Structure 1
Amino acid sequence: MFTVGYFIGLILIGIFVGFASGLLGVGGGFIMVPLQYFLLQSIGVESDLAMLISLGTSLAIIIPTSLSGAYRHAKTMDGIVLPGVRLGIFGIAGGVIGGMVASILSSNILKIIFGCLLLFVAVNNLINFNKERVEAKIPFNLISTCIIGLLVGFTSGLLGVGGGVFIIPVLTVLLGFSMIEAVGTSSIFISLTAIGGFLSYIVSGWGVSTFPYSIGYVSIINFTLITCFSVPLASLGAKYAHKIPQKKLKIIFSILVLYMGLKMLGILS
């Protein structure tokens, strides 16, 4: 079932996802989910199972990968740990609920939801491209923290992403964070939020998943190979994030998100 090409594909995903995670403050799920999905289908895994394995394994990988980037960001910036942890606590609860809901939806519905949300994020970033920092539109208090954490956490569990592609626009557009502050805070947030969704995919896939060498909907082979490369590359990406102008970070972030959104919607082959 597993081929040399499949293993090489996993290694390349780890390298790409790790660097993007540290550089952009995302878990890399918006890259990992579709790439794992297409890779699993290439070895004959049925569509619905391939999607659930991609989602569950992606969340498992996001935890150590984002922690690696978060550690590097926390060493460089002050004041990002507490906001990230506060949001992440509520994100864990939202992730559990989202992961449970995902197990009862079809892969086509998940792909459409995923693609539309990514397109929204890309367009929003392009609209606010020239703004280094915008004025906060809502206060960052317990109520807003709870609502944002739960909603982004739910999206994280539902779509198998850490939530960075969604929390960063919220932090920059609604809460007035600069891009680099949002990247650092997001790294901490997603390392916690992914835990909730990860656990729900193990439980919902227990005794149901037929994929070899897996725990629930989490593939041990995919997790091991991708993580071996994503963790060290995330630290390297975080280092470069502090050397690149914020406008360039926005451009890179938007292009990646736009491409993956179009890919999931089937607009790009």
Structure 2
Amino acid sequence: MFPIEYIIGLILIGICAGFASGLLGVGGGFLIVPLQYFLLKYIGVVPDLAILISLGTSLAIIIPTSISGAYRHTRTLDGIIKPGIQLGIFGIVGGVIGGFVASALPSRILEIIFGCLLLFITVNNIVNINKEREDARVSFNYATISITGLAVGFSSGLLGVGGGIFLIAILTALLGFSLIEAIGTSSIFISLTAVGGFLSYVVSGWGVNTFPYSIGYVSVINFLLIACFSVPLAYLGAKMAHKVPQKKLKIVFSCLVFYMAIKMLGIVP
């Protein structure tokens, strides 16, 4: 039923996204969403359906992948569990809302939103490339926790990503976290937030004739093939993150995010 190149593509997504998830604390959705989308269009799935399947399935994959990376980070970093859980609780609520909003929007609008947000994150990283840690511009209290959690959770559900790429930018640029602390906290946050968005895609796509072997807008085939490789690679990536200098991490992070941004905006084919 599925071409062999489609199967191979899903396996490669799992390897790349899993390693990136653990290394950069981003969940891997910024790779899983667009690459799944391109693969689905390749086998003839219409764009509006392809983007929803990519978003919903991405969130399902992010849950076990981010848990794998988070477990490794907690073995090395102290004090990341509490802020990760606090942010994640609000992120779940935001994720549910974002997922329902996404199902009502045309695919091209989602692609443009996704691309613009990724460009913003790239610029922020380049501007602060030489800084190990920025001074906190706002306090990390219940007000900022709730606002940040809800906003990043909403973007997670809307765009089918764990929200890590946005949370890391906020934690490092506004709240005074070092990059490695932000990566560890983000991994915990992502594993919680993705649940809310995932459930909304299951519910909103329930009863819709979407794709073979799907639950709502979540493809079981895509989930199993990608997750089988992303989960172990996330653990390996998280282990590597503690051995790589922060400046190099920022460079790798910025390059990957910039490429996916211009890809989603249609600047490159």
Supply the distance in 2 between the matched residues of 1:212 and 1:37 (Cα, whole angstroms): 16
Gaps spanning 5+ residues in structure 2: where?
none
Aligned residue identity for 1:55: L
Paired residue for 1:258?
258
Cα shift at 1:29: 0.5
Supply the distance in 2 between the matched residues of 1:102 and 1:120 (Cα, whole angstroms): 21
Supply the distance in 1 between the matched residues of 2:259 and 2:268 (Cα, whole angstroms): 8
Aligned residue identity for 2:178: S
Aligned residue identity for 1:166: F
- 4+ long deviations beyond 2 Å: none
Cα shift at 1:268: 1.0
> Does the 8 A contact of 1:209 with 1:217 survive in 2?
no
Paired residue for 1:137?
137
Aligned residue identity for 1:137: R
Paired residue for 1:206?
206
Question: TM-score with structure 1 length normalisation?
Answer: 0.99
2:223 is aligned with 1:223: yes
Paired residue for 1:172?
172
Paired residue for 1:43?
43
Paired residue for 1:55?
55
> Percent of counterpart pairs with the same letter?
75
Supply the distance in 2 between the matched residues of 1:250 and 1:209 (Cα, whole angstroms): 42
2:97 is aligned with 1:73: no
Residue 209 to residue 171, structure 1, CA distance change in 2 (3 Å): farther
Aligned-residue CA RMSD (Å): 0.5
2:249 is aligned with 1:249: yes
Supply the distance in 2 between the matched residues of 1:27 and 1:204 (Cα, whole angstroms): 23
Supply the distance in 2 between the matched residues of 1:210 and 1:115 (Cα, whole angstroms): 25
Paired residue for 1:238?
238
Supply the distance in 2 between the matched residues of 1:143 and 1:265 (Cα, whole angstroms): 34
Q: Secondary structure at the match of 1:268?
A: coil
Supply the distance in 2 between the matched residues of 1:138 and 1:209 (Cα, whole angstroms): 47
Paired residue for 2:95?
95
Gaps spanning 5+ residues in structure 1: where?
none
Cα shift at 1:169: 0.6
Supply the distance in 2 between the matched residues of 1:210 and 1:83 (Cα, whole angstroms): 37
Question: TM-score with structure 2 length normalisation?
Answer: 0.99
Supply the distance in 1 between the matched residues of 2:180 and 2:222 (Cα, whole angstroms): 30
Paired residue for 1:16?
16
